[in-house]
Amino acid sequence: MDGEHSQAEGHPTETPGDDAQRQYSRKTVLRAALAAGVAVPAAVIGAPALARTATASGAPLEPTPSCHDGDEPTIEQTEGPYFKPNSPERSSIREPGYPGTNLTVSGYVFGLACQPLDRVLLDFWQADDDGAYDNYTYRFRGHQFTNAQGQFKLTTIVPGLYPGRTRHIHVKVQAPGRRILTTQLYFPGEPRNNTDTIFDPRLLMTVRDGSGGREASFDFVLNVPGGGPTTRPTQPTTPTTPPGGTTWAAGTSYTAGTRVTYNGKTYVCLQGHTAQPGWEPPTAPSLWQAA
C-alpha cells in the first residue's frame, strides 16, 4: 500500500518549525479578520493590507500584517494511487458504523493577493480508521465548494495509519477555470512525520481538541492572480447542438456520466455538480473529461 512513495518528489529535510509557523501567523490573522467580517471587502478587492479597525471601546487594534509578505501558493504533492474521480458532493465524509475519532477540517482558500476565492472545488479522500482506502465505493471520499467567503469545512474522522506513510488527508483543489492543485494535509506531533519522505511541514494543519473530537484548520493559497475576485472567463460562445445531444449550460445540475457537447466537442461528467460560468468542460478537468 506504499505506492505513494514511488511518486514522491524531493525529500524534505526540515522538521516542523519556524517556516511553517511564520506562514501560519499571517493566515491566522486573515482567518480572524474574515471570521469577524472585519476586512473581507479590502481583501476581496486586493487591497495591500487588511484595514486597521477599532475595538468597541475605541482603542485601536494593532495593525494587521500586509498581504505582501510573499506567501507562496500551497505546494503540490503526489496524488498517490488511491484517488477516485466522481466522488459525491458532500461536506461530511464520516461514515455511520465506521469507527474513528471525529475530525473537522476548516479553512479558507485564498488567491495570491489574499483574496478569498469562492466556488473553489475541494475533493477530499483519505484512509479509514484502520488505514485502508475504499477503492470500490466512496467511503471517506467527497467533494465540496467554498462559499462566498472562500470557506470550506470537512467533517470526517482522523485517518488511520498505513505502512510507509504518516497520517495524512489527500485533497485536490481547483478554482473555477484554473488548474488543479493536488496535495496532502498533515497532523502535527505525529512520530512518522520525521520518517515519511513525502511529509512536508508546510502542509501541517493546526489541530486542537474540540468538544466532539479534533478540530483542524488549514488555509490554501492558490496560484490565482490577485486584484479582484476570481477571474471569470468571458461568456462562452453558444455551442451548437448535434442531433440527440445535450448542450452544456451554466445553471444545469449534472450527474456523473452525463454526456454534453460544448463547442462541438463531447464531454463526460466525472462528478455531480451544478454548472457555473468558469466551469466550462474544457477548463474543468476535475468535472469533465473529453469523450
Which positions lie near Fe ion, rule CB under 5 A? 80
Residue 172 Cβ, how far from Fe ion at the closest point, in Å? 13
- If the CB atoms of residues 71 and 196 are measured against Fe ion, the closer one turns out to be 196
Residue 82 Cβ, how far from Fe ion at the closest point, in Å? 6
Give the dihedral of Cα atoms 266, 272, 274, 279; nearest 10 deg: -50
- If the CB atoms of residues 80 and 176 are measured against Fe ion, the closer one turns out to be 80
- If the CB atoms of residues 169 and 287 are measured against Fe ion, the closer one turns out to be 169
Residue 127 Cβ, how far from Fe ion at the closest point, in Å? 6
Maximum distance among all Cα pairs of the chain, rounded to whole angstroms: 68
Q: Which residue is nearest to Fe ion (CB)?
A: 80
Residue 61 Cβ, how far from Fe ion at the closest point, in Å? 41
Q: What does 61-86 look like in DSSP terms, one character per residue?
A: PPPPPBS-S-PPPPPP----S---SS
Q: What residues are paired with 144 via a beta bridge? A: 122
Cα torsion 177, 84, 147, 20: sign: negative
Residue 7 Cβ, how far from Fe ion at the closest point, in Å? 11
Tell me the CA distances in angstroms from 158 to 100, 141, 220, one per residue in order.
Answer: 6, 13, 20
- If the CB atoms of residues 80 and 100 are measured against Fe ion, the closer one turns out to be 80
Three-state DSSP class for 173?
strand
What DSSP character marks residue 180?
P
Residue 269 Cβ, how far from Fe ion at the closest point, in Å? 26
- Write phi, then psi, for 187 (nearest 5 degrees): -110, 135
Tell me the CA distances in angstroms from 270 to 155, 283, 289, one per residue in order.
Answer: 23, 13, 7
Q: What does 202-234 look like in DSSP terms, one character per residue?
A: GGBPEEEE-SSSEEEE--EE-S---SSSPPPPP
- If the CB atoms of residues 76 and 149 are measured against Fe ion, the closer one turns out to be 76
- If the CB atoms of residues 80 and 111 are measured against Fe ion, the closer one turns out to be 80
C-alpha angle 120-94-82 in degrees, rounded to nearest 5: 70
Residue 129 Cβ, how far from Fe ion at the closest point, in Å? 14
- If the CB atoms of residues 27 and 143 are measured against Fe ion, the closer one turns out to be 143
